[in-house]
Structure 1
Amino acid sequence: MKFKIILSLFSIFCLLSCKQDNQQKVKPKLVVGIIIDQMRYDYLTRFENRYEDDGFKRLLKNGFSLENAHYNYIPTYTAVGHSSVYTGTTPSEHGIISNNWYDKFLKKTIYCVDDENYSTIGDNSDSGKKSPNRLFTTTVTDQLQLAQNKHGKTIGIAIKDRSAILPVGHTATAAYWYNGGNFNNWITSSYYMSTLPNWVTNFNANNNADEYLNTTWNTLYDIKTYTNSRPDNSIFEGTFKGNQTPTFPKKLKELRIKNGNFDLIKSIPAGNTLTTDFAKAAIIGENLGKTDVTDFIAISYSSTDYIGHKFGPASVEIEDTYLRLDKDLANFFNFLDQQVGKDNYLVFLTADHAAVHVPAYLQSLKIAAHYLDINKFRNFILEITKKYFNSTELIENVSNYQIFLDKEKIEALGFSVNNVAQKLADEVLNFNGIYKAVTARTLQTTHFSSGILNSLQNGYNQKLSGDVLMIPYPATLIRERTGTSHGSGYSYDTHVPIIFYGNGIKKGRSSKRYNITDIAPTIANLLQIEAPNSTNGIVINEALK
């Protein structure tokens, strides 16, 4: 009798275990990748008490948050960040070394997704002559397409073309971006298709961009409650053309005339709302998350970056933008619950980089911060080559804190390229603002296992990068004294949120150090597919059920 009872209990236990195992192996019907352009990690904590329950707080409460996640390379720019999140590797491997960079083979500056082999689909502009062909490796979205023999759909959406194109890799169903100016269209490239789907055409005919612009941007709440920010009228903030001060309210209907008409929507919170509107239309129009295979939608919110550049991290504008984005996310997550089903989708949310506080603002607080005059720096480099090599013709290009040498000229004059590069690396340290400098040869022959030189090495691509690479002092920008930017390997640029939520994800948080390159292998592991082909990140096991 006891044997029968034990056997029955054992059978029940096996059935329950098998049932749980099968439940864990049910893949999400839709993966939603969200990148917020220029989101510092502390925007989660600074504004947390003002967020509503279904936006950021929903992810934090019911998902898994990495509180010490960083970018592990230089430069921290938009195209590089989006590529690294989805490839699981750094510029040293995936080949997107900046937004724009000097091409030492073509002898000109190029843009990361420009491609004259393709044409615009959606209007008669040149804004659709784009492709992902400069991305050397696969993305997790490519790997999903390969694993499912292209039975699922992958779609990229962003106001910025590079932010829509690079995440969905080479095999995407589509990538769509917004063409403002006098067009007001979501467009794509002939790389993906020959005509727009009906749902995109209908969206363009009926979208709310005009409504969003024919209004006034005022703060969501009483401006006196924005105590997490500087006073509204700050000398450290930029202004829209037509405004004398960076203050609320901002009369958009009047401002759009002097600020590129529909381009203005990029630089206000409504740009994020428009992106959400389009993402919802894509999910419905493409029937995403409704089949037996896994679909993937990669969404990037670009307006946060435009606003951050103009007004800076401590502005009322940034605080108001994130409170409004929180509402957009809450709206979108509730939409996913209804359209796809609460247990049927997986979300990860991160940023492509963060940003430094406005250096002039830091200086006003007696915190070390700097502005580098790039024209003076270029002249300084020419003085070095004149002094030591009696020539000012040895430099092809100076950009992205890199020096590209004219190797043919150097060799014709009887000098060694390595000697010239090393002399420049030694001497540029005498310029006020340059903190470290190394040659390409050093990065090829020396391994830096930690610190900021390790980040520089991870961003160095032997085929594409320059001959001398430099790092400025912390909190250094090349720009006017209002607003902010990014690009460094310092923590203010590298520390970003990473939150996983939904199907297959535990609830919790971790303060362990993780790299942004760990996202792609983690998603691949959860989906039970091969990771991107140059991934060097790790699987974040503690986030997975």
Structure 2
Amino acid sequence: MKTTRKLALSVAVSLGVLAASPGLGEETTPPAAPEKNDPPKLVLAISVDQFSADLFAQYRQTYTGGLKRLANAIVFPSGYQSHAATETCPGHSTIMTGSNPARTGIVANDWVDQSAARADKIIYCAEDEREAGTDHRNYVESAVHLLVPTLGERLKAISPASRNVAVSGKDRAALMMGGNNVDAIYFWKKGRFATLKGRTVEPGVEKINAELAPVFAAPDPDGLSVPESCHHLNRAIPVKDGGTVGTYHFNRPGAVDGAFRASPALDAWTVRVAEQVIDDMKLGQGKAPDVLSLGLSATDYIGHSFGNEGVEMCIQQASLDQTLGGLFSFLDAKGIDYMVMLTADHGGHDLPERVAMQAYPSATRIDDKLTADDIGAAIAADLGLPDGVKPLLARGPIGDFYLNRDLSGEMRDKVRAAAITRLKEYPQVAAVFDARELAQVPLPTGPVEEWTLEERARASFYAPRSGDIIVLLRKAVTPIAHPGPGYVATHGSPYDYDRRVPILFWRKGLSPFEQPLSVRTVDIEPTLAPFVGVTIPQGDIDGRCLDLDAGAASTCGLEPVTN
């Protein structure tokens, strides 16, 4: 306990964050239990980016703050992001919509749209490409591509007094969980917390930005204490192409934004913004229930930068636990009747150099020739295509490969057949699917852990945006051929280390229990909906309501809210 509290204090001081709640992350006594059928005044939906079920299990016994409260509440340790495209945007699109990416339309973090009017044919999942002068790196944030409503939007439709708010370290997390109709939204962008085009950052958040500016300009969180439980992880791991990770060095010279994001600082400041918004808007203090979606992104940035089995992640877990404890204490002190849900958009895989040392020697990095450009160049030579013509387009070595629409239909068929043949010959490739055939596969049902690779790919497939060919790698193949600062490990596979996430619920008065069988993140929205009186028409979503009553009664049939 002393070690963890010391870490929390060190986070607060070295990162410039002063505790806004009693005890600096210590658990306080929550307010009295509400009447059984009273809706919570605030639904707090938390996504911890890249917080796999494996991480939760590994660190569960070390938590003393907010994560301890949740780990002793209603626990589904085998939650699943059931689809194959385990990336940030698709994963977040499932959490508050009850729908797979095949229904949300969010098939990847970005995709290729050859019909786009702009020269850049790459579309970022959380942008509006219709904005003049933009591209996928310099974009205007928007949830326009999300095809289904979120819980907050459904609630506002029946209860106009309810507020739907999102705060996150990533724009795509806030937008996919909040949706298109949000009362307030904030996300980290280039050194400050920003909001959507045409909206104003409120004075309270601007004050936080001003306090944050010197911290961001010289991020140096390396003064954090290392918990005793993390010391055995504090050792250097050589990474391909040079450099090491694993020796407790969050800061990376020459990469200010990357250094800040890939440290516990980002979550601490994101929560501070959320607390400010709660105060400014008096969330959870009106007559109607409100929804606050909170995306905590540092775990993902740390996982990408250092892997998820080193001292850096160990420190992050301790810090995250205390940061959440502080947030819950903040809400408790206000006497707000709130309900918490915590999950993740995906899991993650450690860097292969460390995995290979730890009893899995076949872990490796992808062949740097397994790309759409290299395979396409070989196909172009075989088929006699003109110089400069790319028969295949893609955003990476896995997932969606697109056939060049400028080719004739007959030539596209030849390219498709040649690409599928060549991809299947790669020993690192587990499966290759023709989109025409994948579209005919029924949406999968039954135990999610038993779905085939084809079924997992189908859950991510939305024909207007998905590729013509879908490529899945074998287990423990990391799709980063040449690692560099900030990017040594990743996620995105169809395997359980990327699909399986915890799903945790807490509300004062709900009896704790643990259900080890599989559930899905698409079950979250229909589980929360009855608590705030939202009825979802049958067939609108892919998930089901999870009964959170440990006894004979059911939370899936609560009385609707009356305003």
TM-score by length of 2: 0.81
> Which of residues 33, 51, 61 is equivalent to 1:49?
61
Does the 8 A contact of 1:27 with 1:503 survive in 2?
no
Q: CA deviation at 1:448?
A: 7.1
Change (3 A) 1:247 1:498: closer
Whole-angstrom CA distance in 2 between matches of 1:157 and 1:540: 26
Whole-angstrom CA distance in 2 between matches of 1:423 and 1:525: 51
- Over the matched positions of the two proteins, sequence identity in percent amounts to 23
Paired residue secondary structure (2:463):
coil
Whole-angstrom CA distance in 2 between matches of 1:475 and 1:173: 42
Does the 8 A contact of 2:238 with 2:353 survive in 1?
no
Whole-angstrom CA distance in 1 between matches of 2:513 and 2:121: 48
Equivalent runs, 1:83-102 vs 2, <5 Å: 83-102=93-112
Q: CA deviation at 1:32?
A: 0.4
- 2:351 is matched with which residue? 358
Whole-angstrom CA distance in 1 between matches of 2:70 and 2:108: 30
> Which of residues 369, 373, 377 is equivalent to 2:371?
377
Whole-angstrom CA distance in 1 between matches of 2:324 and 2:202: 25
> Which of residues 28, 34, 58 is equivalent to 2:46?
34
Paired residue secondary structure (1:146):
helix
Change (3 A) 1:441 1:76: same
**Deviations along 1:257-281, whole A, 9 cap, x unmatched?**
x222x55321111111111111111
- 1:347 is matched with which residue? 340
Whole-angstrom CA distance in 1 between matches of 2:413 and 2:41: 53
Change (3 A) 1:269 1:529: same
> Which of residues 101, 104, 112 is equivalent to 2:125?
112
Whole-angstrom CA distance in 2 between matches of 1:84 and 1:38: 15
Whole-angstrom CA distance in 2 between matches of 1:155 and 1:438: 39
Q: CA deviation at 1:144?
A: 1.1
Change (3 A) 1:428 1:320: same
Whole-angstrom CA distance in 2 between matches of 1:518 and 1:213: 42
Change (3 A) 1:419 1:303: same
> Which of residues 136, 139, 142 is equivalent to 2:150?
139
Whole-angstrom CA distance in 1 between matches of 2:246 and 2:56: 24
Whole-angstrom CA distance in 2 between matches of 1:373 and 1:435: 14
- 1:171 is matched with which residue? 181
Confirm or deny that 1:485 pairs with 2:486: no
**Deviations along 1:26-66, whole A, 9 cap, x unmatched?**
100001010001111122222223211x32111121x2110
- Of stretches 281-290 and 479-488 in structure 1, the one that deviates more from structure 2 is 479-488
- 1:187 is matched with which residue? 194
Give the residue type in structure 2 aligned to 1:309.
H
What RMSD in Å do the two structures reach over aligned CA positions? Answer: 2.8
Give the residue type in structure 2 aligned to 1:425.
I
For these two proteins, the number of residue pairs brought into alignment is 494
Unaligned runs of 5+ in 1: 1-21, 120-125
Change (3 A) 1:283 1:30: same
Unaligned runs of 5+ in 2: 1-33, 445-450, 556-563
Q: CA deviation at 1:211?
A: 8.2
Paired residue secondary structure (1:87):
coil
Equivalent runs, 1:258-269 vs 2, <5 Å: 258-260=254-256, 263-269=258-264
Whole-angstrom CA distance in 2 between matches of 1:427 and 1:403: 13
Does the 8 A contact of 2:152 with 2:163 survive in 1?
no
Bigger-Rg structure (1/2): 1
Whole-angstrom CA distance in 1 between matches of 2:115 and 2:156: 32
Equivalent runs, 1:518-533 vs 2, <5 Å: 518-531=523-536
- 2:300 is matched with which residue? 305
> Which of residues 236, 244, 252 is equivalent to 1:233?
236
Change (3 A) 1:116 1:250: same
Change (3 A) 1:128 1:408: closer
Whole-angstrom CA distance in 2 between matches of 1:128 and 1:440: 29
- Of stretches 444-453 and 79-88 in structure 1, the one that deviates more from structure 2 is 444-453
Q: CA deviation at 1:503?
A: 5.2
> Which of residues 387, 393, 396 is equivalent to 1:397?
393
Does the 8 A contact of 2:98 with 2:524 survive in 1?
yes
Equivalent runs, 1:64-75 vs 2, <5 Å: 64-75=74-85
Whole-angstrom CA distance in 2 between matches of 1:196 and 1:474: 44
Whole-angstrom CA distance in 1 between matches of 2:477 and 2:267: 29
Q: CA deviation at 1:385?
A: 5.3
- 1:273 is matched with which residue? 268
Paired residue secondary structure (1:446):
coil
> Which of residues 192, 205, 210 is equivalent to 2:210?
205
4+ residue segments displaced more than 6 Å: none
